[in-house]
Chains A and B, each alone.
Chain A
Amino acid sequence: MLEAMVFYILAAALVTFGLLMITRTNPISGAMTMVGAFGALAGLYATLSASFVSIIQILVYAGGIMVLVIFVIMLLNMHPDDLKPMKAQPFWVVLALLAGVTTILAPILFCVLPNRDFTWSELTPGFGTLTAVGEKIFSDFIFPFEVLSLVLLTAVIGALVLAKRKL
């Protein structure tokens, strides 16, 4: 019962923060609601017995990526016009959006999920802890892990080249 209550509270918080985020006009308030959404997601990961992923969600997303976004928002000397609501989308975009939402969401919610009986499996002791995930990364996923370091290096160099005035 407690598990269900925690799930519904976190899910409600997540959807509320998400909807608040896409309706903000000020990017700073958007970033702040986004931090709330990431906090709720970290709680959901914890209920799925993924403790390490939950901590990484807080550390990297709320602590790293959102700080970077807020830093850049404050770095740019934005004109007050950029904080006002921008010109609305044309009607056909909204119509296409509604159609897309219906075609994606409705089949998943009303056809696929009720007919698939996913059940939780028996978990091994220590499932989702730092030790277990670390063993998995450094045994089965060592090559993708090494490639990832190259991706991050490329991102750092690319960001420098793009954002620097003169090289």
Chain B
Amino acid sequence: MELYPITPNHYLALSAVLFTIGIAGVLTRKNVFLTLMSLELMLNAVNLSFVTFAKVRGDMAGHVFVLFVVSIAAAEACVGLAIVIALFRLKETVNLDMFKSLKD
């Protein structure tokens, strides 16, 4: 892969790197907000490949799919943050280690 000109492979490699950063964030962070934001990062990495393939194929279905993913991400953030509020009311913390009543 040469540095120039920019091919679809550059975008796909960037997307893979971004997805890996997101996975690393989800697995290592203990703060529930940072975990949620790492999830968003993973969704965005997938969106980047969708848009890349839309341009590769010259078909705008990829763009439509990205718009759907963004809406689902908005719904997920909305419900996820409501769960965080309910949990915080119960446990007074945002540390994921404290949310283990099902395990005990």
Docked Cα-Cα span, A122 to B77, in Å, equals: 37
Chain A interface residue bracket vs B = 35 or more
B81, A113: Cβ atoms closer than 8 Å: no
Interface string of B18-57 (1 = CB under 8 A from A): 1111111101111101101110110010011001101111
B14, B33, B81: the one within 8 Å of A14 (CB): B14
B54, A159: Cβ atoms closer than 8 Å: no
A133, B14: Cβ atoms closer than 8 Å: no
Chain B interface residue bracket vs A = 35 or more
B64, A141: Cβ atoms closer than 8 Å: yes
**A69 close to chain B: CB less than 8 A:** yes
Give the dominant DSSP class at B's interface.
helix
A4, B4: Cβ atoms closer than 8 Å: yes
A158, B79: Cβ atoms closer than 8 Å: yes
Residue of A nearest to B85 (CB): A163
Check A76/B88 contact, CB under 8 A, given A87-B30, A118-B7. yes
B63, A152: Cβ atoms closer than 8 Å: no
Min CB distance B62 to A, Å, is 8
Binding site for B on A (CB under 8 A): 1, 3-4, 7-8, 11, 14-15, 18-19, 21-22, 24-25, 27, 30-31, 34, 37-38, 41, 44-45, 48-50, 52-53, 56-57, 60-61, 64-65, 68-69, 72-73, 75-76, 78-79, 81-82, 86-87, 89, 93-94, 96-97, 100-101, 104-105, 108-109, 113-114, 116, 118-124, 127-128, 132-133, 136-137, 140-141, 144, 148, 151-152, 154-156, 158-160, 162-163, 165
